[in-house]
């Protein structure tokens, strides 16, 4: 028969007691039993599967991000042309087909117009590639087209901001252990244990950080 030193026996029973105490909150919750008043309040936070709650999958409208970038670029082009050392006279600045374009009234100023807007086409991400291309069409029309890399980078930034805003709004509810994670390029999974009304969660989120979201029906085939 094995004879363990007394200190090992005490250590074994101490670990067993701690493990049992840690499991008590889950046992009482699952069994539906009231928590004994003599014991401290439970600290174990149940997940969505045990505590119940709300689960929402948000999908970002990336087309809105592209549209906002086009509008912002049009405003920046207008201001850049006005600030040029020698103002460039142009016609209306238009947005069409994912591009920003304008016609230079004096063809001799096309190069000056291009130089004025070039700083706006800054590099995208770690690659340093420009997130807008500049083309001259018909000799006097400047066309700026947003690159796929630039748009992807803008979506990532918008999603990072939106995720943080969603997290702050959920934290304001005072719920324990919410799950807020990115899924793919344009989705956010939100799980809030203990929040029984998903409509309240939808109303809380609404439009986030200028990035429109739609609720995704995860039950659809």
The pLDDT score that the predictor gives to residue 31 is: 44
Between residues 207 and 96, which one has the greater pLDDT? Answer: 96
The pLDDT score that the predictor gives to residue 221 is: 41
Please state, as a whole number, how many other Cβ atoms lie within 10 Å of the Cβ of residue 53.
21
Question: CA nearest 81: which of 46, 43, 110, 50?
Answer: 110
CATH of range 48-62+152-215; options 3.30.70.3400, 2.60.40.10, 3.40.225.10, 3.40.50.1100: 3.30.70.3400
Helix H or strand E encompassing 81: helix 62-83
The pLDDT score that the predictor gives to residue 220 is: 44
Q: What is the mean pLDDT of residues 99-106?
A: 95
Token pair for residue 195? Answer: 């929040």
Domain with CATH 3.40.109.30 in the chain: 65-147
Q: What is the mean pLDDT of residues 189-203?
A: 79
How many Å apart are CA 150 and CA 132, to the nearest integer?
Answer: 7
In the CATH hierarchy, which fold is given to the domain comprising 65-147?
Answer: NADH Oxidase (3.40.109)
pLDDT bin (cut points 50, 70, 90) of residue 1 is very low
């Amino acid at each position: 028969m094995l004879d363990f030193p007394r200190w090992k026996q005490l250590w074994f029973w101490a670990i067993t007691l701690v493990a049992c105490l840690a499991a008590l909150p889950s046992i009482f919750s699952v069994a539906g039993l009231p928590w004994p008043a003599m014991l401290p309040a439970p600290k174990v936070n149940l997940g969505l599967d045990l505590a119940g709650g709300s689960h929402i999958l948000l999908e970002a409208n990336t087309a809105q991000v592209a549209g906002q970038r086009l509008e912002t670029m049009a405003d920046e082009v207008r201001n850049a042309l006005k600030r040029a050392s020698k103002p460039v006279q142009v016609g209306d600045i238009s947005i069409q087909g994912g591009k920003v374009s304008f016609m230079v009234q004096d063809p001799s100023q096309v190069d000056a117009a291009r130089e004025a807007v070039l700083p706006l086409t800054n590099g995208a991400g770690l690659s340093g590639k420009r997130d807008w291309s500049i083309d001259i069409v018909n000799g006097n029309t400047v066309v700026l087209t947003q690159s796929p890399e630039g748009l992807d980078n803008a979506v990532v930034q918008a999603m990072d901001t939106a995720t943080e805003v969603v997290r702050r709004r959920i934290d304001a509810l005072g719920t324990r252990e919410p799950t807020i994670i990115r899924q793919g390029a344009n989705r956010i999974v939100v799980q809030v244990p203990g929040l029984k009304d998903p409509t309240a969660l939808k109303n809380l989120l609404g439009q986030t950080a200028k990035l429109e979201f739609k609720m995704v029906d995860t039950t659809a085939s």
